[in-house]
Structure 1
Amino acid sequence: MRHFFSILGGMGTMATESFIRILNQRTPAKRDQDYLNYILVNHATVPDRTSYLLDHSQPNFLPDLLADVKQQNLLKPDFMVMVCNTAHYFYDQLAAASDVPFLNMPQETVKSLKQHYPRAKRVGLAATEGTISSGVYQQYIYQAGLDEVDPTPAIQEKINRLIYKSIKEERGAVDAPLYHEILADMMQQLKVDVIILGCTELSLAQELAPNHQYPVADSQSIMAERTLALATKYQKNKA
């Protein structure tokens, strides 16, 4: 197979499935051959990212992801994309190990947010506790001249419930009222201008329950757009 990219996924699997679905839906294809060439690494057994970031005595997920990157290097993809926000804690190490460009989900999300919400100043971050505590998004938000606003403990509890119980435990089921309640709480209680969906499970919630009025920067949707654009560019340049 020529002109393909590699997707590091499986963190979690239902969210990765959402990414693939969005990517395929947005590809301007009228026949089988018009779709993108890619390899999906659905590495479901990668140790829990948040568990490690909150407690370094827990299994470290970096060795598994480094092994995936090195394995994909042997196949010579055009680029790699990793569809897990929390795993970007080790972005620098993974990008350094990659022989090809490695897309950065938090960086691309903040860049898109600036383009689509140029007047935004206060940015709410809806994400796992691991993403928030480790500052995965912090540097990009601050570099963009924005203020990061993290959830209150009460809102975080709702986010955790949506991610781990509604979606992970119930295999992709989305509690739409709970998702909309989280967005409303962040807008009204935290007085933010826009909300980053900094977890791919939240992106799945957005895909399946988009009927709300709140401004969001959906990291997985944005990554799908960047992936599509880059894959198209490589295919045209190397045709």
Structure 2
Amino acid sequence: MKELVAGILGGMGPEATVDLLHRIIAHTDARDDVDHVRCIVDNNPKVPSRIKALLEGGGESPAPCMADMGRRLEAWGADFLCIACNTAHNYHAAVQEAVRIPVLDMIGLTAQAVAERHPRARRVGLLASPAVRLTRLYEKPCACRGLEVVYPAPMEEQRLLGVIKDIKAGRTDEVVRAAFAGVTDHLAARGADVLVVACTELGIICGDNDVPVVDAADVLAETVVETAKQRRPLPHIS
């Protein structure tokens, strides 16, 4: 069966995009190069800031740039697309409207993974940019599966945003990791049954936790492989 080609809207940020590619390779059962998934990657760090557009106000919308990236990836031969950034999924519809091929929904896929892997879970602790909370990206997909979203308290949320900015700047030292661990402990104390790593930067440093973890980037990587190998059907375009 002919394999499909994945198109990746990346650069948000660049290291998170490289991390996604590593995950795609790790999820592929390969004996030689030819067994791996063909990916066409637009690792574009010039996408307007999602933080400035959604949090700080007045920033340029990333939607037109992302839509153009989607069109180019389709023209270059991609059979389906994915967006290597949780916050950028606020513009998922703009990308889907710009192309004739499906765009994977990392948010919905992650909520489904939580429900399937942890059927007794009721409260999901979200490790994400404040923009994810403000746009309520995870609320509906989680609510449809009987899951309540739990966010960090304001001070902890700002600490987490600092961690994200540190990783974007290339800092992943023990100080950064300790700050991240403090936020995960905080969410567990708030009653989270499962933690969702809903920022592709955070997945770079996330390790073991007392509470089960579902990493959105890992869910996306696994879905990319399964879709490319045609073991999973392409999503329907509504």
Normalising by structure 1, we get a TM-score of 0.90
- Alignment partner, residue 225 of structure 1: 222
Gaps of 5+ in 1: none
Matches within 5 A, 1:1-239: 3-165=4-166, 167-170=167-170, 175-188=176-189, 190-206=190-206, 210-233=207-230
Aligned residue for 2:124, secondary structure, equals strand
Secondary structure at the counterpart of residue 30 of structure 1: coil
Equivalent position of 2:235 in the other structure:
none
User: Which consecutive residues of structure 2, in runs of 5 or more, have no partner in the other structure?
Assistant: 233-238
Give 1:187 deviation, angstroms: 0.2
Structure 1 residues 69-93: Cα deviation after superposition (integer angstroms, max 9, x where no partner): 1112212311111110001111122
- Give the TM-score, by structure 2 length: 0.91
**How big is the shift at 1:195?**
1.3
Aligned with 1:200: secondary structure?
A: coil
Q: How many residues align?
A: 231
State the AA in 1 paired with 2:211.
Y
* Contact 1:141–1:147, Cα closer than 8 Å, also in 2: yes
CA distance in 1, matches of 2:104, 2:230: 14
Shift of 1:56: 3.9
Q: Which has the higher helix share?
A: 1
Q: In 1, are the aligned partners of 2:152 and 2:183 still within 8 Å (CA)?
A: no
Cα RMSD of the aligned pairs, angstroms, is 2.0
Instruction: Tell me how far apart the structure 1 counterparts of residues 124 and 203 of structure 2 sit (CA, whole Å).
Output: 17
Q: Tell me, yes or no, if the aligned pair for 2:6 and 2:80 is still in contact at 8 Å.
A: yes
Contact persistence 2:152–2:186 (CA under 8 A): no
SS in 1 for 2:41: strand
Contact residue 155 and residue 186 of structure 1 kept, 8 A = no
Percent of pairs identical after alignment? 27
